[in-house]
Structure 1
Protein backbone atom coordinates (compact mmCIF):
# COMPACT_ATOMS: atom_id res chain seq x y z
CA UNK A 1 0.00 0.00 0.00
CA UNK A 2 2.78 2.33 0.94
CA UNK A 3 4.50 1.75 -2.43
CA UNK A 4 1.18 2.25 -4.21
CA UNK A 5 0.64 5.62 -2.49
CA UNK A 6 4.13 6.73 -3.44
CA UNK A 7 3.50 5.75 -7.07
CA UNK A 8 0.23 7.72 -7.09
CA UNK A 9 1.96 10.79 -5.62
CA UNK A 10 4.72 10.57 -8.24
CA UNK A 11 2.14 10.24 -11.01
CA UNK A 12 0.32 13.35 -9.79
CA UNK A 13 3.60 15.28 -9.56
CA UNK A 14 4.63 14.29 -13.06
CA UNK A 15 1.22 15.24 -14.43
CA UNK A 16 1.48 18.61 -12.74
CA UNK A 17 4.91 19.21 -14.21
CA UNK A 18 3.68 18.25 -17.67
CA UNK A 19 0.68 20.57 -17.32
CA UNK A 20 2.85 23.50 -16.27
CA UNK A 21 5.23 22.73 -19.11
CA UNK A 22 2.43 22.64 -21.65
CA UNK A 23 1.00 25.92 -20.38
CA UNK A 24 4.43 27.53 -20.49
CA UNK A 25 5.02 26.29 -24.05
CA UNK A 26 1.60 27.47 -25.12
CA UNK A 27 2.26 30.89 -23.66
CA UNK A 28 5.62 31.10 -25.38
CA UNK A 29 4.16 30.18 -28.78
CA UNK A 30 1.38 32.67 -28.32
CA UNK A 31 3.79 35.50 -27.53
CA UNK A 32 5.92 34.52 -30.49
CA UNK A 33 2.91 34.57 -32.78
CA UNK A 34 1.96 38.02 -31.53
CA UNK A 35 5.50 39.22 -32.15
CA UNK A 36 5.54 37.76 -35.67
CA UNK A 37 2.17 39.30 -36.40
CA UNK A 38 3.35 42.69 -35.21
CA UNK A 39 6.52 42.44 -37.26
CA UNK A 40 4.55 41.49 -40.33
CA UNK A 41 2.23 44.41 -39.77
CA UNK A 42 5.14 46.81 -39.43
CA UNK A 43 6.73 45.45 -42.57
CA UNK A 44 3.50 45.79 -44.49
CA UNK A 45 2.88 49.40 -43.41
CA UNK A 46 6.50 50.46 -43.71
CA UNK A 47 8.77 51.88 -41.01
CA UNK A 48 8.06 55.55 -41.42
CA UNK A 49 6.63 58.57 -39.65
CA UNK A 50 3.80 60.47 -41.24
CA UNK A 51 3.86 64.23 -41.77
CA UNK A 52 1.75 64.78 -38.64
CA UNK A 53 4.00 62.54 -36.55
CA UNK A 54 7.07 64.48 -37.65
CA UNK A 55 5.38 67.78 -36.79
CA UNK A 56 4.34 66.43 -33.39
CA UNK A 57 7.88 65.24 -32.67
CA UNK A 58 9.37 68.56 -33.73
CA UNK A 59 12.33 67.06 -35.58
CA UNK A 60 12.77 65.67 -39.09
CA UNK A 61 15.56 63.19 -39.82
CA UNK A 62 17.16 63.83 -43.20
CA UNK A 63 19.84 61.61 -44.73
CA UNK A 64 22.63 63.50 -46.49
CA UNK A 65 26.20 62.84 -47.55
CA UNK A 66 28.95 64.03 -45.23
CA UNK A 67 31.84 63.63 -47.70
CA UNK A 68 30.49 64.79 -51.06
CA UNK A 69 31.47 68.42 -51.43
CA UNK A 70 29.72 70.59 -52.65
CA UNK A 71 26.45 68.67 -52.30
CA UNK A 72 26.67 67.32 -48.78
CA UNK A 73 29.71 67.57 -46.51
CA UNK A 74 30.86 68.51 -43.02
CA UNK A 75 32.94 71.69 -42.84
CA UNK A 76 35.89 72.52 -40.56
CA UNK A 77 33.45 73.60 -37.83
CA UNK A 78 31.60 70.29 -37.88
CA UNK A 79 28.57 71.80 -39.64
CA UNK A 80 26.75 70.21 -42.56
CA UNK A 81 26.98 72.24 -45.76
CA UNK A 82 26.17 71.89 -49.46
CA UNK A 83 23.43 72.02 -52.07
CA UNK A 84 21.35 69.22 -50.56
CA UNK A 85 21.87 70.54 -47.02
CA UNK A 86 20.74 74.03 -48.03
CA UNK A 87 17.52 72.51 -49.36
CA UNK A 88 17.09 70.32 -46.27
CA UNK A 89 17.35 73.32 -43.95
CA UNK A 90 14.61 75.09 -45.89
CA UNK A 91 12.35 72.02 -45.76
CA UNK A 92 12.68 71.87 -41.98
CA UNK A 93 12.13 75.60 -41.60
CA UNK A 94 8.94 75.61 -43.67
CA UNK A 95 7.68 72.50 -41.89
CA UNK A 96 8.27 74.24 -38.57
CA UNK A 97 10.60 71.61 -37.13
CA UNK A 98 14.30 71.15 -36.37
CA UNK A 99 16.45 69.12 -38.73
CA UNK A 100 18.58 66.18 -37.63
CA UNK A 101 21.14 65.33 -40.30
CA UNK A 102 22.00 61.66 -40.62
CA UNK A 103 25.19 60.88 -42.53
CA UNK A 104 24.58 58.25 -45.17
CA UNK A 105 26.55 56.49 -47.87
CA UNK A 106 25.18 55.74 -51.32
CA UNK A 107 24.62 52.05 -50.60
CA UNK A 108 22.66 52.80 -47.39
CA UNK A 109 20.12 55.27 -48.72
CA UNK A 110 17.29 52.80 -49.36
CA UNK A 111 18.01 50.84 -46.18
CA UNK A 112 17.89 53.99 -44.03
CA UNK A 113 14.42 54.79 -45.38
CA UNK A 114 13.08 51.26 -45.06
CA UNK A 115 14.27 50.92 -41.46
CA UNK A 116 12.97 54.32 -40.41
CA UNK A 117 16.40 55.71 -39.62
CA UNK A 118 15.57 58.76 -41.74
CA UNK A 119 12.36 60.40 -42.91
CA UNK A 120 13.80 61.81 -46.13
CA UNK A 121 16.87 61.16 -48.24
CA UNK A 122 18.51 64.22 -49.82
CA UNK A 123 21.78 62.70 -50.95
CA UNK A 124 22.11 63.15 -54.71
CA UNK A 125 19.57 60.38 -55.16
CA UNK A 126 19.09 59.73 -58.89
CA UNK A 127 15.59 58.60 -59.84
CA UNK A 128 15.50 55.15 -61.45
CA UNK A 129 12.73 52.64 -62.10
CA UNK A 130 14.46 50.05 -59.91
CA UNK A 131 14.73 52.41 -56.95
CA UNK A 132 11.14 53.58 -57.43
CA UNK A 133 10.05 50.04 -56.62
CA UNK A 134 11.60 50.35 -53.16
CA UNK A 135 11.13 54.03 -52.26
CA UNK A 136 8.84 56.87 -53.28
CA UNK A 137 10.40 59.84 -55.03
CA UNK A 138 9.11 63.39 -54.81
CA UNK A 139 9.49 65.96 -57.61
CA UNK A 140 13.02 66.49 -58.96
CA UNK A 141 15.23 69.45 -58.10
CA UNK A 142 18.29 68.73 -60.26
CA UNK A 143 19.34 67.22 -63.58
CA UNK A 144 22.16 64.71 -63.78
CA UNK A 145 23.91 62.27 -66.10
CA UNK A 146 26.84 59.93 -65.65
CA UNK A 147 30.35 61.09 -66.43
CA UNK A 148 33.88 59.69 -66.47
CA UNK A 149 36.97 61.52 -65.22
CA UNK A 150 40.54 60.44 -65.99
CA UNK A 151 44.08 61.77 -65.92
CA UNK A 152 45.14 64.30 -68.54
CA UNK A 153 47.98 62.04 -69.68
CA UNK A 154 45.52 59.22 -70.38
CA UNK A 155 42.12 60.71 -71.18
CA UNK A 156 39.29 58.19 -71.40
CA UNK A 157 36.88 59.36 -74.11
CA UNK A 158 35.13 56.05 -74.78
CA UNK A 159 34.40 52.82 -72.93
CA UNK A 160 34.45 50.76 -76.11
CA UNK A 161 37.46 48.52 -76.84
CA UNK A 162 38.39 48.62 -73.15
CA UNK A 163 41.74 47.29 -71.94
CA UNK A 164 40.79 44.34 -69.74
CA UNK A 165 43.73 45.05 -67.42
CA UNK A 166 42.36 48.49 -66.52
CA UNK A 167 39.59 49.17 -64.01
CA UNK A 168 37.10 51.95 -63.28
CA UNK A 169 36.30 53.22 -59.79
CA UNK A 170 32.63 53.41 -58.78
CA UNK A 171 30.72 54.02 -55.55
CA UNK A 172 28.67 51.04 -54.40
CA UNK A 173 24.93 51.57 -54.74
CA UNK A 174 25.18 54.33 -57.36
CA UNK A 175 23.71 54.50 -60.84
CA UNK A 176 27.26 54.37 -62.22
CA UNK A 177 27.77 50.92 -60.73
CA UNK A 178 24.44 49.70 -62.10
CA UNK A 179 24.98 51.19 -65.56
CA UNK A 180 28.47 49.79 -66.03
CA UNK A 181 27.51 46.37 -64.67
CA UNK A 182 24.62 46.12 -67.12
CA UNK A 183 26.18 47.75 -70.18
CA UNK A 184 29.90 47.02 -69.81
CA UNK A 185 30.10 43.79 -67.81
CA UNK A 186 33.65 43.08 -69.01
CA UNK A 187 35.10 46.26 -67.50
CA UNK A 188 36.60 45.53 -64.05
CA UNK A 189 35.11 47.74 -61.33
CA UNK A 190 36.78 48.88 -58.14
CA UNK A 191 33.94 49.52 -55.70
CA UNK A 192 34.09 51.80 -52.67
CA UNK A 193 31.48 52.63 -50.05
CA UNK A 194 32.37 56.29 -49.57
CA UNK A 195 33.32 59.17 -51.84
CA UNK A 196 36.34 59.96 -49.70
CA UNK A 197 37.90 56.51 -50.14
CA UNK A 198 37.06 56.49 -53.86
CA UNK A 199 38.76 59.85 -54.41
CA UNK A 200 41.82 58.76 -52.44
CA UNK A 201 42.11 55.54 -54.45
CA UNK A 202 41.71 57.38 -57.75
CA UNK A 203 44.34 59.94 -56.84
CA UNK A 204 46.67 57.12 -55.82
CA UNK A 205 46.37 55.69 -59.33
CA UNK A 206 44.61 52.41 -58.55
CA UNK A 207 42.34 52.87 -61.61
CA UNK A 208 42.56 54.73 -64.90
CA UNK A 209 39.14 56.39 -64.49
CA UNK A 210 36.33 57.18 -62.10
CA UNK A 211 32.67 56.97 -63.17
CA UNK A 212 30.04 58.85 -61.21
CA UNK A 213 27.40 61.56 -61.57
CA UNK A 214 28.72 64.10 -64.05
CA UNK A 215 28.31 66.81 -61.40
CA UNK A 216 30.73 64.91 -59.18
CA UNK A 217 33.39 64.18 -61.80
CA UNK A 218 33.23 67.72 -63.21
CA UNK A 219 33.76 69.09 -59.71
CA UNK A 220 36.67 66.73 -59.14
CA UNK A 221 38.38 67.78 -62.38
CA UNK A 222 37.90 71.47 -61.63
CA UNK A 223 39.26 71.11 -58.10
CA UNK A 224 42.21 68.84 -58.89
CA UNK A 225 44.94 69.64 -61.42
CA UNK A 226 45.93 66.95 -63.88
CA UNK A 227 42.44 65.49 -64.40
CA UNK A 228 39.81 65.99 -67.09
CA UNK A 229 36.30 64.78 -67.88
CA UNK A 230 36.66 62.85 -71.11
CA UNK A 231 33.03 61.66 -71.03
CA UNK A 232 30.60 64.28 -69.71
CA UNK A 233 27.42 62.35 -70.48
CA UNK A 234 27.17 58.58 -70.33
CA UNK A 235 23.85 56.80 -70.73
CA UNK A 236 20.56 58.58 -70.11
CA UNK A 237 19.97 62.00 -68.61
CA UNK A 238 18.27 61.60 -65.27
CA UNK A 239 17.00 63.68 -62.36
CA UNK A 240 17.76 63.89 -58.66
CA UNK A 241 14.86 64.01 -56.22
CA UNK A 242 14.02 63.63 -52.53
CA UNK A 243 12.98 60.13 -51.51
CA UNK A 244 10.71 58.93 -48.71
CA UNK A 245 9.76 55.50 -47.46
CA UNK A 246 7.43 53.58 -49.75
CA UNK A 247 3.84 54.48 -48.90
CA UNK A 248 4.57 57.65 -46.94
CA UNK A 249 2.17 59.67 -49.07
CA UNK A 250 1.55 62.50 -46.60
CA UNK A 251 5.23 63.45 -46.42
CA UNK A 252 5.84 63.00 -50.14
CA UNK A 253 2.85 65.15 -51.08
CA UNK A 254 3.95 67.91 -48.72
CA UNK A 255 7.46 67.87 -50.21
CA UNK A 256 5.98 68.06 -53.72
CA UNK A 257 3.93 71.09 -52.75
CA UNK A 258 6.97 72.65 -51.12
CA UNK A 259 9.11 72.16 -54.23
CA UNK A 260 6.43 73.76 -56.41
CA UNK A 261 6.19 76.72 -54.03
CA UNK A 262 9.96 77.12 -53.84
CA UNK A 263 10.10 77.15 -57.63
CA UNK A 264 8.05 80.35 -57.66
CA UNK A 265 10.88 82.15 -55.86
CA UNK A 266 13.66 80.49 -57.90
CA UNK A 267 14.91 78.90 -54.70
CA UNK A 268 17.06 76.25 -56.36
CA UNK A 269 18.90 78.81 -58.47
CA UNK A 270 19.66 80.65 -55.25
CA UNK A 271 20.76 77.36 -53.70
CA UNK A 272 23.10 76.81 -56.65
CA UNK A 273 24.54 80.31 -56.34
CA UNK A 274 25.11 79.86 -52.61
CA UNK A 275 26.66 76.39 -52.72
CA UNK A 276 27.71 75.33 -56.23
CA UNK A 277 28.79 78.40 -58.18
CA UNK A 278 32.30 78.38 -56.71
CA UNK A 279 32.75 74.87 -58.07
CA UNK A 280 30.94 75.00 -61.40
CA UNK A 281 30.66 78.68 -62.25
CA UNK A 282 27.54 80.01 -63.93
CA UNK A 283 27.84 78.06 -67.18
CA UNK A 284 26.23 74.90 -65.75
CA UNK A 285 23.55 76.58 -63.64
CA UNK A 286 20.55 76.46 -65.97
CA UNK A 287 21.35 72.98 -67.24
CA UNK A 288 21.67 71.50 -63.74
CA UNK A 289 18.97 73.29 -61.76
CA UNK A 290 15.34 72.16 -61.83
CA UNK A 291 12.85 74.71 -60.49
CA UNK A 292 9.41 73.76 -59.22
CA UNK A 293 9.84 70.12 -60.21
CA UNK A 294 9.58 70.99 -63.91
CA UNK A 295 12.27 69.34 -66.03
CA UNK A 296 11.19 71.00 -69.29
Structure 2
Protein backbone atom coordinates (compact mmCIF):
# COMPACT_ATOMS: atom_id res chain seq x y z
CA UNK A 1 0.00 0.00 0.00
CA UNK A 2 1.29 3.50 -0.76
CA UNK A 3 0.54 4.73 2.74
CA UNK A 4 2.09 2.17 5.07
CA UNK A 5 4.56 3.32 7.76
CA UNK A 6 7.44 0.82 8.15
CA UNK A 7 10.12 1.80 10.69
CA UNK A 8 12.60 4.16 9.08
CA UNK A 9 15.48 1.96 10.24
CA UNK A 10 14.31 -0.68 7.76
CA UNK A 11 15.30 1.71 4.97
CA UNK A 12 18.91 2.08 6.18
CA UNK A 13 20.40 -1.11 4.64
CA UNK A 14 18.57 -0.40 1.38
CA UNK A 15 19.81 3.19 1.24
CA UNK A 16 23.36 2.24 2.17
CA UNK A 17 23.45 -0.52 -0.44
CA UNK A 18 22.06 1.74 -3.15
CA UNK A 19 24.55 4.48 -2.30
CA UNK A 20 27.51 2.08 -2.40
CA UNK A 21 26.40 0.54 -5.69
CA UNK A 22 25.93 3.93 -7.34
CA UNK A 23 29.20 5.25 -5.91
CA UNK A 24 31.17 2.31 -7.33
CA UNK A 25 29.95 3.20 -10.81
CA UNK A 26 31.35 6.75 -10.59
CA UNK A 27 34.54 6.29 -8.55
CA UNK A 28 36.65 8.75 -10.56
CA UNK A 29 34.38 11.63 -9.57
CA UNK A 30 34.34 10.81 -5.87
CA UNK A 31 36.22 13.85 -4.54
CA UNK A 32 34.95 16.56 -6.91
CA UNK A 33 32.42 18.34 -4.72
CA UNK A 34 34.19 17.95 -1.38
CA UNK A 35 37.45 19.23 -2.90
CA UNK A 36 35.66 22.19 -4.44
CA UNK A 37 34.04 23.11 -1.13
CA UNK A 38 37.42 22.96 0.62
CA UNK A 39 39.18 25.02 -2.05
CA UNK A 40 36.69 27.89 -2.10
CA UNK A 41 35.65 27.64 1.58
CA UNK A 42 32.02 27.78 0.50
CA UNK A 43 29.24 25.22 0.16
CA UNK A 44 26.30 25.99 -2.13
CA UNK A 45 23.08 24.36 -0.97
CA UNK A 46 19.80 24.24 -2.89
CA UNK A 47 16.86 24.70 -0.52
CA UNK A 48 13.12 24.88 -1.00
CA UNK A 49 11.78 28.14 0.47
CA UNK A 50 8.18 28.03 -0.75
CA UNK A 51 6.65 27.87 2.72
CA UNK A 52 6.27 25.66 5.75
CA UNK A 53 8.53 24.79 8.66
CA UNK A 54 11.25 23.22 6.53
CA UNK A 55 11.90 26.28 4.40
CA UNK A 56 10.36 29.72 3.98
CA UNK A 57 11.16 33.43 3.93
CA UNK A 58 10.71 35.30 7.21
CA UNK A 59 8.35 38.20 6.35
CA UNK A 60 9.85 40.39 9.09
CA UNK A 61 13.36 40.55 7.65
CA UNK A 62 13.20 38.56 4.37
CA UNK A 63 15.74 36.00 5.57
CA UNK A 64 15.48 32.24 4.92
CA UNK A 65 14.33 30.12 7.84
CA UNK A 66 13.34 26.53 8.51
CA UNK A 67 14.84 23.16 9.38
CA UNK A 68 16.41 22.75 5.93
CA UNK A 69 18.13 26.11 6.37
CA UNK A 70 19.38 25.08 9.82
CA UNK A 71 20.83 21.88 8.38
CA UNK A 72 22.58 23.72 5.55
CA UNK A 73 24.10 26.20 8.00
CA UNK A 74 25.31 23.45 10.34
CA UNK A 75 26.87 21.57 7.44
CA UNK A 76 28.80 24.73 6.59
CA UNK A 77 29.89 25.10 10.20
CA UNK A 78 31.14 21.52 10.39
CA UNK A 79 32.92 21.77 7.03
CA UNK A 80 34.48 25.11 7.96
CA UNK A 81 32.82 26.73 4.95
CA UNK A 82 30.52 29.67 4.32
CA UNK A 83 27.01 28.70 3.25
CA UNK A 84 25.38 30.03 0.10
CA UNK A 85 21.67 29.21 -0.07
CA UNK A 86 20.13 28.91 -3.53
CA UNK A 87 16.32 28.79 -3.68
CA UNK A 88 15.03 25.91 -5.81
CA UNK A 89 11.61 24.60 -6.80
CA UNK A 90 10.38 21.01 -7.23
CA UNK A 91 10.39 21.62 -10.98
CA UNK A 92 14.07 22.62 -11.19
CA UNK A 93 15.88 21.25 -8.14
CA UNK A 94 17.28 18.17 -9.90
CA UNK A 95 18.50 20.25 -12.84
CA UNK A 96 20.23 22.73 -10.50
CA UNK A 97 22.17 19.86 -8.94
CA UNK A 98 22.99 18.15 -12.24
CA UNK A 99 24.14 21.41 -13.83
CA UNK A 100 26.44 22.26 -10.92
CA UNK A 101 24.49 25.31 -9.79
CA UNK A 102 24.42 23.82 -6.28
CA UNK A 103 26.69 21.36 -4.47
CA UNK A 104 23.92 19.72 -2.44
CA UNK A 105 20.16 19.59 -2.24
CA UNK A 106 18.23 19.81 1.04
CA UNK A 107 14.95 20.48 -0.66
CA UNK A 108 12.01 18.38 0.60
CA UNK A 109 12.97 15.64 -1.83
CA UNK A 110 12.32 12.17 -0.48
CA UNK A 111 14.24 9.08 -1.54
CA UNK A 112 12.75 6.85 -4.22
CA UNK A 113 14.46 4.05 -6.13
CA UNK A 114 14.12 6.04 -9.36
CA UNK A 115 15.72 9.15 -7.87
CA UNK A 116 18.40 6.99 -6.25
CA UNK A 117 19.47 5.74 -9.68
CA UNK A 118 19.60 9.26 -11.09
CA UNK A 119 21.42 11.10 -8.29
CA UNK A 120 23.77 10.50 -5.39
CA UNK A 121 22.55 10.79 -1.81
CA UNK A 122 23.63 10.62 1.82
CA UNK A 123 22.67 7.13 3.08
CA UNK A 124 21.36 8.13 6.51
CA UNK A 125 18.01 9.96 6.18
CA UNK A 126 17.47 13.08 8.25
CA UNK A 127 13.67 12.71 8.36
CA UNK A 128 10.74 10.74 7.02
CA UNK A 129 7.67 12.37 5.57
CA UNK A 130 4.62 11.42 3.55
CA UNK A 131 2.00 13.41 1.71
CA UNK A 132 -1.40 14.60 2.73
CA UNK A 133 -4.21 16.35 0.90
CA UNK A 134 -5.78 19.63 1.89
CA UNK A 135 -9.52 19.53 1.16
CA UNK A 136 -12.52 21.60 2.20
CA UNK A 137 -14.02 20.52 5.51
CA UNK A 138 -17.37 19.79 3.85
CA UNK A 139 -15.73 17.77 1.07
CA UNK A 140 -16.83 14.16 0.63
CA UNK A 141 -13.19 13.19 0.16
CA UNK A 142 -12.10 11.21 3.21
CA UNK A 143 -9.61 8.73 1.76
CA UNK A 144 -7.11 8.65 -1.08
CA UNK A 145 -9.30 6.43 -3.24
CA UNK A 146 -11.89 9.23 -3.32
CA UNK A 147 -9.56 11.26 -5.56
CA UNK A 148 -10.27 8.98 -8.54
CA UNK A 149 -11.37 11.10 -11.50
CA UNK A 150 -11.03 14.32 -9.47
CA UNK A 151 -8.83 17.35 -10.32
CA UNK A 152 -5.93 17.37 -7.85
CA UNK A 153 -3.21 20.01 -7.51
CA UNK A 154 0.41 19.21 -6.67
CA UNK A 155 3.94 20.33 -7.56
CA UNK A 156 5.89 19.43 -10.69
CA UNK A 157 8.48 16.78 -9.87
CA UNK A 158 6.65 15.69 -6.72
CA UNK A 159 7.13 12.10 -5.54
CA UNK A 160 3.35 11.98 -5.06
CA UNK A 161 2.63 12.20 -8.79
CA UNK A 162 3.00 8.45 -9.32
CA UNK A 163 0.75 7.24 -6.47
CA UNK A 164 -1.85 9.90 -7.26
CA UNK A 165 -1.89 8.75 -10.87
CA UNK A 166 -2.36 5.18 -9.65
CA UNK A 167 -5.37 6.35 -7.64
CA UNK A 168 -6.80 7.78 -10.88
CA UNK A 169 -6.56 11.47 -9.94
CA UNK A 170 -6.58 14.08 -12.70
CA UNK A 171 -3.39 15.96 -11.87
CA UNK A 172 -2.67 19.65 -12.23
CA UNK A 173 1.04 20.16 -11.55
CA UNK A 174 2.40 23.59 -10.64
CA UNK A 175 5.95 24.94 -10.30
CA UNK A 176 5.63 25.39 -6.55
CA UNK A 177 3.47 24.32 -3.63
CA UNK A 178 2.35 27.91 -3.10
CA UNK A 179 0.92 28.03 -6.64
CA UNK A 180 -0.77 24.67 -6.10
CA UNK A 181 -2.35 25.79 -2.82
CA UNK A 182 -3.50 29.03 -4.42
CA UNK A 183 -5.18 27.00 -7.16
CA UNK A 184 -6.98 24.95 -4.50
CA UNK A 185 -8.29 28.10 -2.85
CA UNK A 186 -9.41 29.29 -6.28
CA UNK A 187 -11.49 26.10 -6.72
CA UNK A 188 -9.33 24.84 -9.58
CA UNK A 189 -9.00 21.48 -7.86
CA UNK A 190 -10.70 19.55 -5.05
CA UNK A 191 -7.47 18.77 -3.21
CA UNK A 192 -3.84 19.87 -3.05
CA UNK A 193 -1.32 17.17 -2.18
CA UNK A 194 2.02 18.06 -0.60
CA UNK A 195 4.22 17.00 2.31
CA UNK A 196 2.23 16.54 5.50
CA UNK A 197 4.73 18.81 7.26
CA UNK A 198 3.51 21.66 5.04
CA UNK A 199 -0.23 20.92 5.02
CA UNK A 200 -0.82 19.97 8.66
CA UNK A 201 0.38 23.26 10.23
CA UNK A 202 -1.61 25.25 7.66
CA UNK A 203 -4.95 23.65 8.37
CA UNK A 204 -4.30 23.49 12.12
CA UNK A 205 -3.11 27.03 12.82
CA UNK A 206 -3.80 29.36 9.89
CA UNK A 207 -6.97 31.46 9.94
CA UNK A 208 -7.15 31.57 6.15
CA UNK A 209 -7.18 27.75 6.08
CA UNK A 210 -9.87 27.32 8.74
CA UNK A 211 -12.30 25.87 6.19
CA UNK A 212 -9.87 23.10 5.18
CA UNK A 213 -8.73 19.81 6.69
CA UNK A 214 -6.10 17.18 5.93
CA UNK A 215 -6.80 13.56 5.08
CA UNK A 216 -4.97 10.59 6.56
CA UNK A 217 -3.03 8.31 6.52
CA UNK A 218 0.06 9.87 4.95
CA UNK A 219 0.69 9.01 1.31
CA UNK A 220 3.95 7.27 0.39
CA UNK A 221 5.95 8.02 3.54
CA UNK A 222 9.63 7.93 2.56
CA UNK A 223 13.06 8.88 3.92
CA UNK A 224 14.19 12.47 3.42
CA UNK A 225 17.85 12.57 2.37
CA UNK A 226 20.52 15.07 1.32
CA UNK A 227 21.19 14.77 -2.41
CA UNK A 228 24.50 15.00 -4.27
CA UNK A 229 25.65 14.28 -7.78
CA UNK A 230 26.33 10.61 -8.61
CA UNK A 231 29.67 9.25 -7.50
CA UNK A 232 30.46 11.89 -4.89
CA UNK A 233 31.40 9.15 -2.44
CA UNK A 234 33.65 11.25 -0.20
CA UNK A 235 31.05 14.00 0.02
CA UNK A 236 28.34 11.50 0.91
CA UNK A 237 30.54 9.84 3.56
CA UNK A 238 31.45 13.17 5.18
CA UNK A 239 27.83 14.33 5.24
CA UNK A 240 26.67 10.95 6.52
CA UNK A 241 28.87 11.44 9.58
CA UNK A 242 27.22 14.82 10.15
CA UNK A 243 23.67 13.44 9.80
CA UNK A 244 24.41 10.56 12.18
CA UNK A 245 25.74 13.11 14.67
CA UNK A 246 22.52 15.11 14.40
CA UNK A 247 20.52 12.00 15.27
CA UNK A 248 22.82 10.86 18.05
CA UNK A 249 22.76 14.25 19.81
CA UNK A 250 19.02 14.84 19.35
CA UNK A 251 19.75 18.02 17.35
CA UNK A 252 17.08 17.19 14.77
CA UNK A 253 14.47 16.46 17.44
CA UNK A 254 15.23 19.88 18.95
CA UNK A 255 14.95 21.47 15.50
CA UNK A 256 11.60 19.80 14.90
CA UNK A 257 10.30 21.34 18.14
CA UNK A 258 11.87 24.73 17.43
CA UNK A 259 10.14 24.98 14.06
CA UNK A 260 6.84 23.55 15.37
CA UNK A 261 6.81 20.67 12.88
CA UNK A 262 3.71 18.59 13.51
CA UNK A 263 2.95 15.82 14.01
CA UNK A 264 6.31 14.87 15.51
CA UNK A 265 8.11 12.26 13.43
CA UNK A 266 8.55 8.81 15.01
CA UNK A 267 11.49 8.38 12.61
CA UNK A 268 13.57 10.92 14.53
CA UNK A 269 13.09 9.00 17.77
CA UNK A 270 13.94 5.70 16.03
CA UNK A 271 17.14 7.11 14.55
CA UNK A 272 18.13 8.92 17.75
CA UNK A 273 17.82 5.67 19.70
CA UNK A 274 19.67 3.68 17.02
CA UNK A 275 22.72 5.93 16.81
CA UNK A 276 22.91 6.52 20.54
CA UNK A 277 22.90 2.78 21.10
CA UNK A 278 25.44 1.91 18.40
CA UNK A 279 27.62 5.01 18.64
CA UNK A 280 27.93 4.79 14.84
TM-score tier after normalising by the smaller chain length = 0.7 to 0.9
Q: Give the equivalent residue in structure 1 for 2:4.
A: none
Could you tell me whether the CA contact under 8 Å between 2:148 and 2:170 is conserved in 1? no
Closer, same or farther in 2 for the Cα pair 1:188/1:57, shift >3 Å?
same
Secondary structure at 2:91 match in 1: helix
Q: 2:183 aligns with which of 201, 205, 209?
A: 201
Could you tell me whether the CA contact under 8 Å between 2:249 and 2:272 is conserved in 1? no
Displacement of 1:106 in angstroms is 0.8
Are 2:158 and 1:158 equivalent residues in the alignment?
no
CA offset digits 1:235-289 (Å, max 9, x no partner): x4311111111111111110001111222211101111221x2x53xxx224253
CA offset digits 1:27-74 (Å, max 9, x no partner): xxxxxxxxxxxxxxxx99679942122011011000001212211112
> Structure 2 matches for 1:71-86, cutoff 5 A?
71-76=54-59, 77-86=61-70
Could you tell me whether the CA contact under 8 Å between 2:134 and 2:193 is conserved in 1? yes
Are 2:170 and 1:188 equivalent residues in the alignment?
yes
Q: Give the equivalent residue in structure 2 for 1:124.
A: 108
Closer, same or farther in 2 for the Cα pair 1:176/1:286, shift >3 Å?
closer
Displacement of 1:294 in angstroms is 5.4
Q: Give the equivalent residue in structure 2 for 1:25.
A: none
CA offset digits 1:4-47 (Å, max 9, x no partner): xxxxxxxxxxxxxxxxxxxxxxxxxxxxxxxxxxxxxxx99679
Are 2:42 and 1:59 equivalent residues in the alignment?
yes
Displacement of 1:292 in angstroms is 5.5
Displacement of 1:232 in angstroms is 3.2
Secondary structure at 1:156 match in 2: coil
Could you tell me whether the CA contact under 8 Å between 2:31 and 2:233 is conserved in 1? no
For these two proteins, the number of residue pairs brought into alignment is 245
Closer, same or farther in 2 for the Cα pair 1:162/1:173, shift >3 Å?
closer
Gaps of 5+ in 2: 1-25
> Structure 2 matches for 1:103-122, cutoff 5 A?
103-122=87-106
Closer, same or farther in 2 for the Cα pair 1:149/1:48, shift >3 Å?
farther
Are 2:242 and 1:258 equivalent residues in the alignment?
yes
> Structure 2 matches for 1:11-50, cutoff 5 A?
49-50=32-33
Displacement of 1:198 in angstroms is 1.1
Could you tell me whether the CA contact under 8 Å between 1:64 and 1:84 is conserved in 2? yes
Separation in structure 2 between the aligned mates of residue 289 and residue 102 of structure 1, nearest angstrom: 26
Q: 1:171 aligns with which of 145, 155, 160?
A: 155
Scaled by the length of structure 2, the TM-score of the pair is: 0.80
Secondary structure at 1:264 match in 2: helix
Separation in structure 1 between the aligned mates of residue 85 and residue 46 of structure 2, nearest angstrom: 6
Separation in structure 1 between the aligned mates of residue 91 and residue 155 of structure 2, nearest angstrom: 8
Scaled by the length of structure 1, the TM-score of the pair is: 0.76
Gaps of 5+ in 1: 1-42
Larger CA Rg, structure 1 vs 2: 1
CA offset digits 1:185-242 (Å, max 9, x no partner): x3211110112211111111211111122222212212221111123322x4311111
Q: Give the equivalent residue in structure 2 for 1:287.
A: 266
